Amino acid sequence: MADGSMYTKPWMRKRLAWLETARPEQMPPPGVDWLTWLIMAGRGFGKTRAGAEWLAERLNTQPNTRWAIVAPTIADARDTCVEGQSGLLAALPDGTYDWHRSLGELVYHNGARVKCFAAEEPNRLRGPQHHGAWCDELSSWRYDDAWDQLMFGLRLGTNPQVCVTTTPKPNPLTRQVMSDEDTIITRGSTFDNADNLAPKALKKLKQKYEGTRLGRQELNAELLDDAPGALWTRGTLELTRVKRMPGSGFKRIVVGLDPSGSDGSDDGDSQGIIAAGLGHNDHVYIISDDSMRGSPNEWAMRAINTYNDLEADLIVAEKNFGGEMVRSTIRNASSDTLVPVKMVHASRGKSVRAEPVSMLYEQNRVHHIGTFPELEDQMVNMTPTEYLGNGSPDRLDALVWAVTELALGGSTAKVIKVKFG
């Protein structure tokens, strides 16, 4: 690695190149009398690059310091925040650092260190101390506790600071950080960075999403509230949320599966895969959201892995795309396993099926263990007459099947044990 000089020629070349192209809103607030710089902007705004450059500058000017990168998952931290096209490695001169991918740790030539953390594992932030942090996609963090644990560890140096880069979602953690008096907020939209985005792609985004709820959130970075008349409100979800599984465990666990006919392409529907458990108090707990967009074999494997990981009792799968297709797909996706699968038919509309489940939430009989941002976005967009979100509410459909099976008597459909191998 290079020597520890603060302003080496390679660093100055990198820095000047950034300063020549950066927009004013990508530059950090002046002064030091703030704790959090919150960049709340649309997709493609340049949030990641701004966060990476902010951290790179601090590594270069503050030798022997300790920094954290916290993202929704460890893969997000490594693949996007560090190794991504706009990530930290792109902001640092070659030869000035050692990047230990397996450890998720970067050592800069002057002794400064960066460690990657996953917000889905908040306990890993217990203990480590830092001078500051870069937090990516805060609104998609599953556990608010990750933020709390990070704050407890910001006790090194005289002026710890945090850069947060996120597309907004109206959850409690986002609102908490926004409302803090020590937070400075930068807002922006996808279109602010139009000069650096492919014109055809930008045109397609405008045509497809401009004016929609999803477009207002993901492109314009508007903080949207619940749909009028929705079956669920974020307030209800917060009141029923719990931090951990019941100590007594579960009487029964099922995996709800909402398949699709998609081949896994970006334009296809996702497949909802939601696991839920029935506690000994007869309350239902939403355990995991393993939904994905993939080929039939991929989503079948994901559902089976969820079933096995949780030692579940049953997979409940909607058969409207073809019951035999779903059964055969699951059969071909695994080996040496006997999995009970119940095929259910959606004879009523999505809203009608969802309404009894929403009443259980109002009775405080269903609880989310942690947060499930994408699932909850779909829930607060389902009204008694229609779904007001974009695409199909695949995650919500899977949840409805799982909760119905556990708490509303399920269906009388026959359970078929599918033998693999």
With a pLDDT cut of 90, the percent of the chain lying above it is 59
Q: How far is CA 53 from the centre of its chain?
A: 23
User: Which DSSP helix (H) or strand (E) runs through 98?
Assistant: strand 97-100
d(Cα 216, Cα 193) in Å, to the nearest integer? 16
| CA atoms of 228 and 381, how far apart (whole Å) | 8
| pLDDT, the chain, mean | 88
Higher pLDDT residue, 262 or 383? 383
Yes or no: say if 90 and 50 are a contact pair by the CB < 8 Å rule: no
DSSP string, 153-209: H--SSS--EEEEEE-----HHHHHHHH-TTEEEEEE-GGGGGGGS-HHHHHHHHHHH
Q: Which two tokens stand for residue 131?
A: 């001078």
Neighbour count for residue 226 (Cβ, 10 Å): 20
CATH 3.30.70.1140 fits 234-419, yes or no: no
* pTM metric for this prediction: 0.67
Name the fold adopted by 9-218: Rossmann fold (3.40.50)
**Could you tell me the residue ranges of all domains in the chain?**
9-218, 234-419
Of 78-87, 246-255, 345-354, the poorest mean pLDDT is in 345-354
Taking only the tens place, the pLDDT of each residue in 295-344 is: 888 888 899 999 999 999 999 988 765 555 666 666 665 555 678 889 88
User: Residue 170 has which token pair?
Assistant: 């109206």
Distance, in Å, from the CA atom of 180 to the CA atom of 37, rounded to the nearest integer, reads 11
Helices (H), 190-275: 199-209, 213-218, 234-240
**pLDDT of amino acid 294:** 87
pLDDT at 84 over 50: yes
Structure token pair of residue 106: 């970067």
- The CA-atom distances, in angstroms, between 420 and each of 296, 325, 386 are 16, 15, 39
Using the predicted structure, report yes or no on whether residue 39 has a pLDDT greater than 60.
yes
**Closest C-alpha among 65, 258, 71 to residue 147:** 71
pLDDT of 268 higher than 80: no
Residue 7 has pLDDT above 80, yes or no: no
pLDDT band at 421 (very low <50, low <70, confident <90, very high): very low
Cα 421 from Cα 404, distance rounded (Å): 31
Q: What is the pLDDT of residues 106-121, one digit of tens each?
A: 999 999 999 999 999 9
Is the per-residue pLDDT at 144 higher than 90?
A: no
Contact 70, 150 (CB under 8 A): yes
User: In terms of pLDDT, which residue wins out, 6 or 319?
Assistant: 319
Spatial CA neighbour of 163 closest among 154, 152, 171 = 154
